[in-house]
Structure 1
Amino acid sequence: MDFVWATITVRNMEESLQFYQEVAGLRLNRRVRSNESTELAFLGDGPTQIELIHRSNGEPQGIGKGISLGFGVEDLDGMMLKIKELGLEIHEGPFAPNPHVRFFYVLDPNGLRIQFVERR
């Protein structure tokens, strides 16, 4: 069994695509309309992807509490600088729970916590 994607229902597809491409560095692999009111986009750089869903006729979905997506980075300080240069705020952190890990969180355009982690 393979873990193939995590799905996020988004309020605005363009803002979400921009965030995941520019901030998280993910590649847009596929973007399709499944019907008149539903658009899907798949992003990723490996076998596991993020699926974004926008429903123009539906009510916005809430983001589950305690859920975050984590992305590994080589240089946490450099990533924090990039976040600030893009005009985004660091939501929490940075934290260093042990000598081998440092991380911080930002919020995506939908309020989902996104973690950037440096492992040494």
Structure 2
Amino acid sequence: MKLRMNWITLRVRDLEASLEFYHRILGLPVERRFESRGRQIVMLGTEGQPKLELIQGSDPALKPECGVSVGFEVGSLDEAMVELSREGIPVARGPVSPNPSLRFLYILDPDGFEVQLAEHL
């Protein structure tokens, strides 16, 4: 069996706040937005890459403390930290450099899910 990841789903309390975070601040393009079974859904991500699916809902299936995080690669962690600071988004943990070819940090999305930003050196 050959698998290819399609998407990761996060159930969010406030879809517009999550869109502000993932689309405007982090820069993930909106692939599509639609309604299914009375719930608003947005698919974010770049062509050919796995998507991030945000589903509006008052009772998240995953809670932030479940240990799930979403990771993204950035060209420069230092530049990302400057941009995050400008947007008022604090670094929750890091930056950490577990080996000479990797640095990363964590921020929190509007629902408290950890988002890892990683720079491969």
Task: Compute the TM-score of the two structures, normalised by the length of structure 2.
Answer: 0.90
- Write out per-residue CA displacement over residues 49-101 of structure 1, whole angstroms, 9 at most, x where no aligned residue: 0000003xx43442352211111011110000111000111100011111111
User: Secondary structure, in 3 states, of the residue corresponding to 1:45?
Assistant: coil
Q: Is the 8 A contact 1:100 1:119 kept in 2?
A: yes
Match of 2:24 among 22, 42, 54: 22
Give distance in 2, aligned partners of 1:119 and 1:109.
26
Spell out structure 1 runs of 4+ moving beyond 6 A: none
Report the Cα offset of residue 29 of structure 1: 0.8
Question: What stretches of structure 1 of length at least 5 have no aligned partner?
Answer: none
Residues 21-30 or 93-102, more deviating? 21-30
Report the Cα offset of residue 22 of structure 1: 2.3
Q: Is the 8 A contact 2:13 2:59 kept in 1?
A: no
Q: Is the 8 A contact 1:42 1:50 kept in 2?
A: yes
The equivalent of 1:2 in structure 2 is 4
Give distance in 1, aligned partners of 2:33 and 2:14.
14
Give distance in 1, aligned partners of 2:21 and 2:78.
19
Cα distance change on mapping 1:105 and 1:7 into 2, 3 Å = same
The equivalent of 1:70 in structure 2 is 71
Report the Cα offset of residue 4 of structure 1: 0.3
Give distance in 1, aligned partners of 2:26 and 2:72.
7
User: Secondary structure, in 3 states, of the residue corresponding to 2:78?
Assistant: helix
User: Secondary structure, in 3 states, of the residue corresponding to 1:102?
Assistant: strand
Q: Is the 8 A contact 1:24 1:71 kept in 2?
A: no
Task: Compute the TM-score of the two structures, normalised by the length of structure 1.
Answer: 0.90
Q: How many residues align?
A: 117
Give distance in 2, aligned partners of 1:35 and 1:117.
36
Report the Cα offset of residue 48 of structure 1: 0.7
The equivalent of 2:54 in structure 1 is 52
Question: What stretches of structure 2 of length at least 5 have no aligned partner?
Answer: none
User: Secondary structure, in 3 states, of the residue corresponding to 2:66?
Assistant: coil
